[in-house]
């Protein structure tokens, strides 16, 4: 925009200069055509053609100078108005960009957990529901993970919230590292994490990810003798086998989680075929 303003100003100056030179040339040509013509006044005074030429040329030059001076002033004022409009437009665009960035930031803050940056409950539920409503390719299924960090409240009580929050952020990083970018990750508060894997082709990545999550939790915190202070209990369910909407699928995964806790924690249980089985005992969903 700024380049266009400068280009416009230069073109105006060029047009003014060109017009001035043309008018001056025509004026001189007109005066020159009077060559040899004298004027006799009533009192007998003779005015030579040289003086006539000088008078005409002077008048034309003075009038032309005044005209183009006024014209240049108007063009300069118009140029300044264009520049002001450009900067006004530039300011408006910058402000709109700032407002857009703020809107995106506020939306992200309203949809994410402040501690970990993962999705909060409402945003997670909405995205999972949308994914469940989309058609699945033949032979594909979805997997819902629910995770609770075992003994997290004890660590929070003994070591403080700052230390506990650091563990939560570290485990959130683990989730991002383990799962695909297309998977939906969330935290529902406290020590509960959730993951939705869409369009899974085989059970292999589900088992692999679950084992990685179990191991990562054990490595988050340890006593002086190296004994893990923390572990994770995981419940998994599949769609559409265990539920075709969010509530049913979440309830099935939550039942699996309850089984993992009941059986001693630090393990993963999976809902499959109407039964809740330990991770190592499950069969691929149909």
Identify which of 67-71, 80-84, 228-232 has the greatest average pLDDT.
228-232
- What percent of the chain is modeled with pLDDT above 70? 72
Answer with the residue of higher pLDDT: 234 or 7: 234
Rounded-to-integer distance, Cα 220 and Cα 231, Å: 8
- Measuring CA to CA, how many Å separate 31 from each of 34, 46, 196? 6, 18, 92
Cα–Cα dist 74/175, whole Å? 67
| 225: confidence class by pLDDT, cuts 50, 70, 90 | confident
Angle (CA) 15 16 21, round 5°: 100
Q: What is the average pLDDT across 125-137?
A: 90
Interstrand relation of 141-150 and 231-239 (parallel, antiparallel or unpaired)? antiparallel
Q: Is the pLDDT of residue 220 over 50?
A: yes
pLDDT tens digits, 151-169: 899 999 998 999 999 999 9
Q: Is residue 182's pLDDT more than 50?
A: yes
- Residue 5 has what pLDDT? 45
Q: 191-201 pLDDT, tens per residue?
A: 999 999 999 99
């Amino acid at each position: 925009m700024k380049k266009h303003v400068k280009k416009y100003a230069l073109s105006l100056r060029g047009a003014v200069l060109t017009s001035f030179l043309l008018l001056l040339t025509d004026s001189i040509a007109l005066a020159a055509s009077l060559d040899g013509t004298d004027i006799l006044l009533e009192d007998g005074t003779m005015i030579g053609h040289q003086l006539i030429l000088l008078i005409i040329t002077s008048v034309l030059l003075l009038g032309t100078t005044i005209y183009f001076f006024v014209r240049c002033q108007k063009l300069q004022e118009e140029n300044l108005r264009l520049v002001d409009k450009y900067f006004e437009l530039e300011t408006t665009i910058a402000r709109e960009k700032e407002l857009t960035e703020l809107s995106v930031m506020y939306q992200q803050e309203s949809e994410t957990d402040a501690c970990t940056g993962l999705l909060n409950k409402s945003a997670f539920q909405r995205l999972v529901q949308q994914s469940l409503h989309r058609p699945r390719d033949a032979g594909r299924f979805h997997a819902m993970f629910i995770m609770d960090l075992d003994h997290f409240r004890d660590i929070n009580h003994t070591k403080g919230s700052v230390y506990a929050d650091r563990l939560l952020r570290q485990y959130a990083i683990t989730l991002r590292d383990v799962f695909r970018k297309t998977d939906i990750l969330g935290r529902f508060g406290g020590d509960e994490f959730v993951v939705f894997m869409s369009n899974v082709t085989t059970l292999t990545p589900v088992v692999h990810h679950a084992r990685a999550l179990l191991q990562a939790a054990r490595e988050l915190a340890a006593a002086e003798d190296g004994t893990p202070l923390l572990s994770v209990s995981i419940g998994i369910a599949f769609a559409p086998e265990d539920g075709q909407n969010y509530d049913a699928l979440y309830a099935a995964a939550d039942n699996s989680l309850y089984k993992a806790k009941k059986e001693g924690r630090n393990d993963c249980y999976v809902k499959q075929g109407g039964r809740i089985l330990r991770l190592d005992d499950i069969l691929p969903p149909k």
